[in-house]
A = this chain, B = another copy of it.
Amino acid sequence: MSPQEDFQATRKRLMRTVQDSMDVLNGKWKIAIIASLCCFTKRRFSDILNDVVGISNRMLSKELKELELNQVIKRTVLDTQPITVHYELTEHGKTLQPIIEDLAAWGVVHHKQIVGK
């Protein structure tokens, strides 16, 4: 393969794998939900509802289900009365933690960049 073709192939692969990630993290709330779970070993439905400002229970329910399907989070039902549900990052989900932290760091820089000073 020529250096030219090699570069193209590398590039296409980068685009594809980034897209693979974004297929999991799509939607308005996924990142915020994961960020909420980053700080705790376990977190309850209503807790996340409070953490993620603006989300409705309808959306939270839907996004959590998708994240569980993608094995990013784990759902545990405790048979208390009334019922209690714990959400936590899986080992796989925990590998997203550095990215969340980088995003937070970038958010700080960006805020300075835009708002200024």
Contact = CB atoms under 8 A, between A and B. Distances in A.
Contacts of A38: 14
Copies in the complex: 2
Interface string A50-68: 0111000000000000000
A71 B114 contact: yes
Interface string A81-111: 0000000000010011011111111111111
A78 to B, nearest CB: 23
Interface residues of A, number: 44
A71 B15 contact: no
A39 interface: yes
A106 B95 contact: yes
